[in-house]
Chains A and B, each alone.
Chain A
Amino acid sequence: MFDYGDAIFEVLGNDATVLGILSTWVEGINTYPALFERRLIPHERKEEPVINYYRLTAIDGGSEIDSNAWTINCRATKQTISESLAYAVFDALNRESVTRGGNMYFFVTSLLPTLPLQNETDLFNTPVEAIIKARKN
């Protein structure tokens, strides 16, 4: 089974430019980047800039090679920061490959325009879409 979310975390969680823009959250003595593999940012987290990412397409079984689309939402109070974060994510992932758990992942990304705010409590969101091709090594 391919773990696409883990592969995204591996790349973004180790990219200095992305980490330089992202906020962090603390649990006990550990500090984590504000990167959530969820369709909703956990309510208890107030930090921003923040990224949440999730799968868009179905996973097809029985294949040695699979391709999947993911959305990476780059959210911040300022549009410019949201865009900078999205550019950093785009650069970190685009045409990058990573090996995790014996599987190889290759990313091709697209950068979407920043979405308008829904209300005054919303954050600017610049989504990055990633097509991830996965292969058993």
Chain B
Amino acid sequence: MSSRLTIENFGDPRLAIVKANLSSLVGIAIAIIALAKKLVPVDTGQLQNTLMYITPTSTGGFNESPGELAPESEQLDLPVKKNNAVVGSGSKHWYPEFGTYRMIAQPFLRPAFLFFAKGRKAADIIKQFNQAEMAKELKGRVKTGFRII
């Protein structure tokens, strides 16, 4: 009589989820900043260039648009907690966001944030990254066979 024992090396799906969540965080932050850069009123382009994101693993958006470069002093430098991201601008010229008594409001940051927070858009990004990471994890599984005699 013989039987077969198969050991499957599952890897660590928890690690895949952690990786996917980090990628999702960056993905959502980039999506918000990209939309904010489209909505922001552009004169010289400096305000647009100050829009940026910070996540625990990466930073981007600052001085990555055409137009006048923003001074380094306007770069956001904030501590970011685990599983958190910061999107925003360190510019002193943020007034179009709320407008003033005699300047028209041209909100750019809040609409961009709310566009992704509302409905399932952010959830869809997270799902997409999680599916990709889990597919990679499943591909990496190794089957080892033993025959017991």
Whether B98 and A115, one on each chain, are in contact in the complex, defined by CB atoms closer than 8 angstroms, is yes
Residues of chain B contacted by A58 (CB below 8 angstroms): 111, 115
Number of inter-chain CB pairs below 8 Å? 55
Whether A121 and B101, one on each chain, are in contact in the complex, defined by CB atoms closer than 8 angstroms, is yes
Give CA–CA (A121, B103) in the complex, Å: 11
Interface of chain A residues 115 through 131 with chain B (CB within 8 A):
115, 118-119, 121-123, 125, 127
From A39, A73, A119, A127, contact of B106 by CB (8 A) = A39
From A41, A67, A71, contact of B98 by CB (8 A) = A71
Q: How far is the CB of B124 from chain A (nearest CB, A)?
A: 15
Whether A30 is near chain B, meaning CB under 8 Å from some CB there, is no
Whether B104 and A40, one on each chain, are in contact in the complex, defined by CB atoms closer than 8 angstroms, is yes
Interface of chain B residues 36 through 74 with chain A (CB within 8 A):
none
From B95, B99, B107, B111, contact of A40 by CB (8 A) = B99
Give CA–CA (A122, B115) in the complex, Å: 30
Given contacts A73-B98, A125-B98, whether A40 and B103 have CB atoms under 8 Å apart is: yes
Q: When each residue 96-137 of chain A gets 1 if its CB lies under 8 Å from chain B and 0 otherwise, what string results?
A: 000000000000000000010011011101010000000000
Given contacts A115-B98, A118-B95, A121-B101, whether A71 and B107 have CB atoms under 8 Å apart is: yes
Given contacts A56-B114, A69-B110, A69-B114, whether A121 and B98 have CB atoms under 8 Å apart is: no
Given contacts A56-B110, A71-B107, whether A121 and B102 have CB atoms under 8 Å apart is: yes
Give CA–CA (A12, B99) in the complex, Å: 21
Whether B119 and A60, one on each chain, are in contact in the complex, defined by CB atoms closer than 8 angstroms, is yes
Residues of chain A contacted by B102 (CB below 8 angstroms): 40-41, 43, 121-122
Give CA–CA (A58, B104) in the complex, Å: 19
Whether A57 is near chain B, meaning CB under 8 Å from some CB there, is yes
Residues of chain B contacted by A73 (CB below 8 angstroms): 98-99, 105
Q: How far is the CB of A132 from chain B (nearest CB, A)?
A: 12
From B101, B105, B111, B114, contact of A122 by CB (8 A) = B101
Give CA–CA (A127, B95) in the complex, Å: 13
Residues of chain A contacted by B6 (CB below 8 angstroms): none
Whether B118 is near chain A, meaning CB under 8 Å from some CB there, is yes
Q: When each residue 96-132 of chain B gets 1 if its CB lies under 8 Å from chain A and 0 otherwise, what string results?
A: 0011111111110011001100110000000000000
The residues of B with any CB-CB pair to A shorter than 8 Å are: 95, 98-107, 110-111, 114-115, 118-119
The residues of A with any CB-CB pair to B shorter than 8 Å are: 39-41, 43, 52, 54, 56-58, 60, 67, 69, 71, 73, 75, 115, 118-119, 121-123, 125, 127
Can you list 7 A-B pairs, Cβ within 8 angstroms, ordered by A? A56-B111, A69-B118, A71-B105, A122-B100, A122-B102, A125-B101, A127-B98
